[in-house]
Amino acid sequence: MSDEILDEITASDYKYGFTTDIESDKVPPGLNEEVIRMISAKKNEPEWMLEWRLDAFRIWSEMEEPEWPNVTYEKPDFQAISYYSAPKQKKELGSLDEVDPELLKTFERLGISLDEQKRLSGVAMDVVVDSVSVATTFKKTLAEKGIIFCSMSEAIQEHPELVRKHLGTIVPKRDNFYAALNSAVFTDGSFCYIPKGVRCPMELSTYFRINEAGTGQFERTLVVADARSYVSYLEGCTAPSRDENQLHAAVVELIAMDDAEIKYSTVQNWYPGDAEGKGGVFNFVTKRGLCERNAKISWTQVETGSAVTWKYPSCILKGDHSVGEFYSVAVTNKYQQADTGTKMIHLGKNTKSTIISKGISAGKSHNSYRGLVRVGARAENARNFSQCDSLLMGDQCGAHTFPYIEAQHPTAQIEHEATTSKIGEDQLFYCNQRGIGTEEAIALIVNGYCKEVLNQLPMEFAVEAQKLLEVSLEGSVG
Amino acid sequence: MLKIKDLKAQVEDNQILNGINLDINAGEVHAIMGPNGSGKSTLSSVIAGREDYEVTDGAIDFDGEDLLDLDPEERALKGIFLSFQYPVEIPGVTVSNFIKTAINESRKGRGEEPMEAREMLAKMREKSALLEMDKSYLSRSLNEGFSGGEKKRNEIFQMAMLEPKLAILDETDSGLDIDALRIVANGVNKLRSKDNAVVIITHYQRLLDYIKPDYVHVLYQGKIVKSGGPELAHELEERGYDWIKAENA
């Protein structure tokens, strides 16, 4: 591909780079027990929650930041981050009309006006700006089915028994450095509980956005699908452009009880930094799900943003006949770095997992797939299929694959396929010859390449994801 | 319609075209024949605007416009179509999505509205039937896992959809069995009119039994060394290319 085209593609701007002028209530930078007590007090938390956080903080204090991912970045100064930033408006919100108009404008610019969302798509949204959940829609409809869908803060107040029972059971406090940090300082997130035998009638959706300068976002999500239930959960993320690096260290825990199914989809579009690699979000996320007997967890992610991403949505296939799936598109451009993949831990008999990973690297970026398939000693007849494809644009980017396979049972069937390809001159010329311009041609080819993953996304999300792919790779071919 | 004057072109310092002169008018069918390496495919690539080919001299005029100034997609918008000798695969992009994009991008480029979905569908049905293509073709990934014959048929299907003014068929007959050859030729014939022109690039006479050319040209060492009517193709079939080579030694 000619350098000119590449330059143009690499030059596209971050569409979501604006900040919103909302008064916010922010804790001074720094991290110590006092700050954690302050966060807990501001959120009016019960004693057990505070103790849980303090325990996590002590664990974290003794941990080292990991070095093994295939990324290089300047380590965040944890004492320079403000760990709590909430839009200043504390009263209860009964309807959208009560939401700060500035905030609503932000949503509109993001193209996710709540009114629209409510009316058109029937999506119930829990919107998290910085750290506090500001509006939850459709709660009533859900409540009729016994479904709980609320902010994590609210869940701690209203459903402490459920939170206490499950929080940290899938991703323990000492799991890793960032999970420990998150456990100590998480300020909000979403909680979802689907009762036995209930099929959630709508897609549940959360939109995260980092607004305040110098804040980290540490959201915590817990989804519990009780026996024979089903839920599809969507998560979208955006951050305004900032010069400095912002830290995002989230933890997501999924629990699928016997015969339950959870479909978890993410479209991640955090600010990737500018054309010189300055700024951008550090996205260090721990996502993991547990499948009981005959349960199924399916992760789908479209990752286009962040300066550095480090994330492995995983499935622990504990129950016999349980199924884990991972469908991923990760795009890196400019100076972005992504080290992402999954872990499929087969413990039960006849467990099955599928991994489809599509990496796209452009500019001077680096894109790594890292995945583990482990078949335990009792996992008779476990089966895995992995397909890891890399697409390179230009000759200054890198694609890397690190598959790890550990099989402890002789009946294990593990298949791994990997391909690396380039968008060829031939493909572009072919499209050009049919009247399709180069930029459109790239969008067409990339969308085709990602199709298996995009097909997994719910309709309205798939459209957004497709647009995002185009935006993150587009230039201004004129 | 197309006027090529003293065209010289090279690829990576290899001079391949050494002064081509060719006039093609609306309603005509021209066949360009010649031995391997004579520059046939280079000529089609240069007309379509492939980047790797550098035009060192001469001019190509298409409907009064200097073609060499235009990007490949602009040439396509003007009505130039190339049926590729080796059509590329685009995984995950269905035939119908590809042709829909091609048609609508072409329309956009000409300042027209996108084609209505219903009209598009009807047209796809009509043209795929013309080429005796099964309906399932449309939902397959473009050229992925296609047999040689299927790829060529798909090229002509796209040509039928795009309705170009000038269609260049670059060895469309290679890799076709006799039935596919008949179907493809039939498709091309149905698309012929007094307003468009067809250039057939081929080694063999057999496609010309189905698509009757008005003119036959022999390309050798980057030049048109002989031109004539359909009888020239028969003569080449009988005598091979050696006498041409001898005459131009």
Candidates A432, A436, A451; nearest CB to B101: A436
Residue of A nearest to B101 (CA): A436
Instruction: Tell me the C-alpha distance between A450 and A327, whole Å.
Output: 10
| Beta-carbon pairs below 8 A across chains A and B | 79
For residue A446, list chain B residues with Cβ-Cβ distance below 8 A: none
- pLDDT above 90: percentage of residues in chain A: 42
Predicted TM-score (pTM) of the model is: 0.80
Q: Which residue has the higher pLDDT, A458 or A99?
A: A458
Residue of B nearest to A1 (CA): B51
Confidence label for A169 from pLDDT (cuts 50, 70 and 90): very high
Whole-Å CA distances, A4 to A9, A264, A438, A440, B55:
9, 39, 11, 16, 20
pLDDT of residue B240: 87
Q: Is A435 left (phi over 0), alpha (psi -120 to 50) or beta?
A: left
Residue recorded with tokens 């890891």: A388
Q: Is the ipTM of this complex over 0.85?
A: yes
pLDDT of residue A105: 58
Interface of A with B in 437-476 (CB under 8 A): 437-438, 440, 444-445, 447-452
Confidence label for A5 from pLDDT (cuts 50, 70 and 90): very low
The string of pLDDT tens digits covering residues A29-49 is 888 898 899 889 988 999 999
CATH architecture of B2-247: 3-Layer(aba) Sandwich (3.40)
- A8 has a chain B CB within 8 A of its CB: no
Candidates A426, A444, A449; nearest CB to B101: A444
pLDDT of residue A106: 52
- Say if the Cβ atoms of A435 and B71 lie within 8 Å: no
Instruction: Tell me the C-alpha distance between A432 and A267, whole Å.
Output: 30
Q: Which residue has the higher pLDDT, B65 or A86?
A: B65
Residue of A nearest to B52 (CA): A425
For residue B103, list chain A residues with Cβ-Cβ distance below 8 A: 435
The string of pLDDT tens digits covering residues A401-432 is 999 999 999 999 999 999 888 888 889 999 99
Region A463-468: mean pLDDT is 75
Confidence label for A90 from pLDDT (cuts 50, 70 and 90): very low
Q: Which residue has the higher pLDDT, A314 or A93?
A: A314
**Which segment of A468-477, B54-63, B199-208, B230-239 scores lowest on mean pLDDT?**
A468-477
Region A107-135: mean pLDDT is 50
- Say if the Cβ atoms of B92 and A448 lie within 8 Å: yes
Per-chain mean pLDDT for chain A:
81
* Backbone phi, psi, residue A195, to 5°: -70, 170
- Say if the Cβ atoms of A429 and B72 lie within 8 Å: yes
Q: Is residue A197 part of a domain?
A: yes
pLDDT of residue B229: 94
Whole-Å CA distances, A374 to A312, A387, B143, B198:
14, 16, 37, 60
Instruction: Tell me the C-alpha distance between A155 and A462, whole Å.
Output: 30
Region A185-194: mean pLDDT is 89
Tokens of A363: 């500019």
- Rounded to the nearest angstrom, the minimum Cα separation between B209 and chain A is 28
Residue A295's SS3 state is coil
Strands of B215-220's sheet in order across: B80-83, B166-170, B197-202, B29-33, B215-220, B223-228
Confidence label for B45 from pLDDT (cuts 50, 70 and 90): very high
Q: Is residue A438 part of a domain?
A: yes
Candidates A424, A431, A451; nearest CB to B92: A451
pLDDT at A305 over 50: yes
- Say if the Cβ atoms of A434 and B158 lie within 8 Å: yes
Interface of B with A in 139-198 (CB under 8 A): 141-142, 158, 162
Q: Which residue has the higher pLDDT, B249 or A25?
A: B249
Residue to substitute from A436, A442, A453, A469, interface B, most B β-carbons within 10 A: A436
The string of pLDDT tens digits covering residues B202-245 is 988 889 999 999 999 999 999 999 999 999 999 998 888 888 88
- Say if the Cβ atoms of B91 and A448 lie within 8 Å: yes
Q: Is residue A198 part of a domain?
A: yes
Instruction: Tell me the C-alpha distance between A294 and A351, whole Å.
Output: 8
- Rounded to the nearest angstrom, the minimum Cα separation between B59 and chain A is 20
pLDDT of residue A273: 79
Residue to substitute from A2, A387, A425, A430, interface B, most B β-carbons within 10 A: A430
Query: For chain A, what is the domain count?
Result: 1
pLDDT at A246 over 80: no
pLDDT at A357 over 60: yes
Confidence label for A17 from pLDDT (cuts 50, 70 and 90): low
Tokens of A227: 């026996």
pLDDT of residue A2: 44
Region A451-462: mean pLDDT is 82
pLDDT at A55 over 90: yes
* Neighbour count for residue A70 (Cβ, 10 Å): 16
Domain of A20, in residue numbers: 3-473
- B71 has a chain A CB within 8 A of its CB: yes
- Say if the Cβ atoms of B162 and A452 lie within 8 Å: no
Q: Which residues contact A459 (CB under 8 A, 6 or more apart)?
A: none
Q: Which residue has the higher pLDDT, A466 or A144?
A: A144
- Say if the Cβ atoms of B109 and A435 lie within 8 Å: yes
Region A168-186: mean pLDDT is 93
- Say if the Cβ atoms of A435 and B82 lie within 8 Å: no
Q: Is residue A118 part of a domain?
A: yes
For residue B92, list chain A residues with Cβ-Cβ distance below 8 A: 447-452
Interface of A with B in 420-439 (CB under 8 A): 424-427, 429-438
The string of pLDDT tens digits covering residues B109-140 is 889 999 999 999 999 999 999 999 888 889 99
pLDDT at A122 over 50: no
Region A319-334: mean pLDDT is 93
CB crowding B227-239: b at 16 or more within 10 Å, else e: eeebebbebbeee
Q: Is residue A478 part of a domain?
A: no
Residue recorded with tokens 């003569």: B235
Q: Which residue has the higher pLDDT, B138 or A305?
A: B138
- Say if the Cβ atoms of A448 and B77 lie within 8 Å: no
Region B3-32: mean pLDDT is 95
Q: Which residues contact A92 (CB under 8 A, 6 or more apart)?
A: none
Per-chain mean pLDDT for chain B:
93
- B111 has a chain A CB within 8 A of its CB: no
pLDDT at A293 over 80: yes
For residue B114, list chain A residues with Cβ-Cβ distance below 8 A: none
